[in-house]
Amino acid sequence: MNGAPNLEQILLAPKVLLHDHLDGGLRPATIVELADETGYAGLPTTDPDELGAWMTRGASRKDLVLYLETFAHTVGVMQTPEALIRVARECAEDLADDGIVYAEVRFAPELHLERGLGLDDVVESVQEGFRLGSEDRPITVRTLLTAMRTAARSLEIADLAVRWRDRGVCGFDIAGAEAGYPPTRHLDAFEHIRGENFHLTIHAGEAFGLPSIWEALQLCGAERLGHGVRIVDDIEVAPDGSASLGRLAAMVRDRRVPLELCPTSNVHSGAAASIAEHPIGLLADLRFRVTVNTDNRLMSAITLSREMANLAEAFGLGWDRLEWLTINAMKSAFLPFDERLALMNDVIKPGYAALR
């Protein structure tokens, strides 16, 4: 295939997704059906098309806290084992249909306890859904357990993640409003994860700037940065286009800290003005460990293939750069080294070679 890759071609490419929220990727029709089945009465509309449009409108208000408000409805219908299994199964199916060969999907177990489920019940249901959805499909799905940075259950969730580490859970994360809730409030959870030789990513550098990135890396021990887009605040671009990196940006690049960048979501939450103005272009040119992600497929009306097609169009990316972004993500996955290597050499590289 010659020329810049288009959406139809990118659909065929093997892709890797590291930052995707289970409660941000439901099918609108599923929300409506689950609301009916579980008696959830809070939906703004029961028309699936209108609901999908409402979710995206609600999310694109240029403010992270407002962006997060839409999740009340998705979480509201994810309170029974049957609902969690269905949502996870459909998630795996949808990701596989988008050409994703490896995905880490995250969710916060503490948000799914309203109808009497225990934390282990929640994780077990989601794992069963992922198993069903990836059965007979060329996708591997792993789970990141997220603690809410605005709550006080992070050590409990960290222990839950460790307990499930050999049953599909690959790491721990914290998420939620950044301003006023620094990651250092959860040091005991991070210390537990690190003491168990387990994996850790932290939402940092999205709505809040360089201090949250520094804390996440230097005080909390994050291996990856969830978003991390604000690292660009520590990069100065001269009129001639040359770039000068500050101490923190230089360390992030030197250490190959993976950035879980989510361009469309960043535009919706106000962290970037547009796709064309998103710092991902600069960060990729400077050879940071950039990865491309969806964040919330429902709220941002996005898929990973569409995300990559938008970037290809905005920045003139060809197959080499798209493969580089995919390899970056596979290198950065919380998967054993031999499994990462096998996916890179046996699936990703041959897949891109066939598309050139």
Provide φ and ψ at 65, rounded to 5°.
-65, -45
Q: Is 206 a catalytic residue?
A: yes
In this structure, are residues 66 and 25 in contact, taking their beta carbons and an 8 Å threshold?
A: no
Number of Cβ within 10 Å of residue 106's Cβ equals 24
Q: Mention every residue, 6+ apart, whose C-beta is less than 8 A from residue 189.
A: 147, 154, 155, 157, 158, 172, 174
In this structure, are residues 129 and 175 in contact, taking their beta carbons and an 8 Å threshold?
A: no
Q: Mention every residue, 6+ apart, whose C-beta is less than 8 A from residue 25.
A: 91, 94, 105, 294, 296, 297, 298
In angstroms, the CA 317 to CA 70 distance is: 32
The DSSP element (H or E) to which 273 belongs, if any, is none
In angstroms, the CA 64 to CA 149 distance is: 14
DSSP 109: G
16 SS3 class = strand
* Torsion angle of C-alpha atoms 133, 11, 301, 103, degrees rounded to 10: 40
Tokens of 83: 């609902």
The one catalytic residue among 90, 206, 223, 260: 206
How far is CA 253 from its chain centroid? 20
Nearest-5° Cα angle at 197, 191 to 199: 80
In angstroms, the CA 71 to CA 93 distance is: 21
Tokens of 267: 């535009």
Which residues have a catalytic role annotated?
206
